[in-house]
A and B are shown apart, each in its own frame.
Chain A
């Protein structure tokens, strides 16, 4: 999977996240937020040092 994005290796980029309590899908629908990606608490795996752990949080991320 890494190879698919190797051209982005040195890019600058920005993205916006919204976090809060509740179900991410429901929150997105309730407030009309169209987002490409969202996670709920528990979706996050500990894959190494320093990974953000969300507890009782919905998480939405969007980018251009």
Chain B
């Protein structure tokens, strides 16, 4: 059995990291490249993502792995998956999605995302001494189309590093990292879980596929933060 029907990518990552090969990979000389590949499919949507726990990130760092996340758009039932998806589990190597580059229109960013039922965006800002890039209040329906049926049940506060989105992910993370280190103790007051995490987003102006690569050195710095990471890819 290759993959369970009801499991998500994070579960597969966890099993791999706990498994035999991950243990062996740790002992391999550094000249070998370890890569964790995560394959997502957007069905009738333009987006896909995966949330990784601090333990996932720490274990990836332990085996000195880089992380590659792929998103393929699936238009409808019956479409030929082999045309633009991984050939896994076929016995050939993977087909790479179009390589992201600024010239192709790939926009990346890293941001801190905090959620609270009780603390308003103003109170979160005051506590951290930081101003949000974007926020949403509990109970206020966003002006998006289509509008959600129900108002949000919590406040949402987000801050990115303020860089141009055409800069690559490493630059975004570097800029945000300094703030995260300085505010680490204050951030822990919010309780770090999937609702309070570092968001990593990549939007690509491609029709059918995109990918994002987080290097080994970036994974190591992510691991030292001990936070959840929410990784999202978008096609536009």
B91 interfacial contact with A, CB 8 Å: yes
Chain A contributes a number of interface residues (CB within 8 A of B) equal to 40
Q: Is the CB of B94 within 8 A of A18?
A: no
Q: Is the CB of B81 within 8 A of A64?
A: no
Q: Is the CB of B3 within 8 A of A17?
A: no
Residue-wise, chain A 28-64 has the 8 Å CB interface mask toward B (1 for contact) of 0001111101010000110111111010000100111
Q: Is the CB of B16 within 8 A of A64?
A: yes
Q: Is the CB of A13 within 8 A of B24?
A: no
Q: Is the CB of A11 within 8 A of B41?
A: yes
* B226 CB to nearest A CB, Å: 22
Given contacts A8-B89, A34-B20, A13 and B12 within 8 Å (CB-CB): yes
B227 interfacial contact with A, CB 8 Å: no
Q: Is the CB of A54 within 8 A of B93?
A: yes
Chain B residues with CB under 8 A of A7? 5
Prevailing SS type, chain B contact patch: mixed
Chain A residues with CB under 8 A of B27? 31
Chain B contributes a number of interface residues (CB within 8 A of A) equal to 50
Q: Is the CB of A52 within 8 A of B93?
A: yes
Q: Is the CB of B2 within 8 A of A14?
A: no
Within 8 A of A (CB), among B25-54: 25, 27-29, 31-41, 43, 48, 50
Nearest to B38 among chain A residues (CB) is: A14
Q: Is the CB of A51 within 8 A of B96?
A: yes
Question: Apart from A11-B3, A12-B8, A48-B95, what are 10 other A-B pairs with CB-CB below 8 Å?
Answer: A10-B43, A14-B9, A20-B29, A20-B32, A31-B28, A33-B21, A51-B95, A52-B96, A62-B21, A63-B16
